[in-house]
Amino acid sequence: MSKGEFFPEIITKLPEADIPIEGLHSYLFQGERQQFVFMSFENAVEVPEHSHEAQWGVVLDGEIELTIDSKECIFTKGDTYFIPKDVKHSARIGKGYKDLTLFDQEDRYRAK
C-alpha cells in the first residue's frame, strides 16, 4: 500500500460498486444476503432523504452528519451508526470521509 492510498490492495481489488457520486471510490464485497461497501469520498456530498433495508456503518476517517428519522447526529473516526429498515435518513458527508458500510440487502448496489 502506498502512502497516498487509504485502502490496501486486498480491498481495492474488489469490484467497484456502481454508485453514481462524483469522486466516490467504492469497493463491493458481496455476500449471499448482504453487502459490505468500503467507501472513500474525495468531495463533500449531500445525500437526499431516502430509505432502504437496514444499514450499519463504521467511520474510518473524516466526518458524516446523518439525519436519521429527523434526528441529526455527527459521527467521526471510530464511531458506528445504525439505520433501521425503512427509516428515512439523509447525509452530509465531509471531503475525505471514509467508511465501511454493511447493507442488509443483497442487491443494494451492483458491481460496475
Segments of the chain scoring below 70 in pLDDT: 1-4
* The total number of structural domains that make up the chain: 1
Q: Mean pLDDT, the chain, as a whole number?
A: 95
Task: Give 38-57 pLDDT, tens digit per residue.
Answer: 999 999 999 999 999 999 99
Q: 67 lies in which domain range?
A: 9-103
Domain membership flag for residue 111: no
CATH of residue 34's domain is 2.60.120.10
pLDDT of res. 5: 82
Q: Residue 44 is placed in which grid cell?
A: 463533500
Cα separation, 61 vs 42, whole angstroms: 12
β-pair partners for 5: none
pTM attached to this predicted model: 0.93
Question: In this structure, are residues 104 and 53 in contact, taking their beta carbons and an 8 Å threshold?
Answer: yes
Residue 77 belongs to some domain of the structure: yes
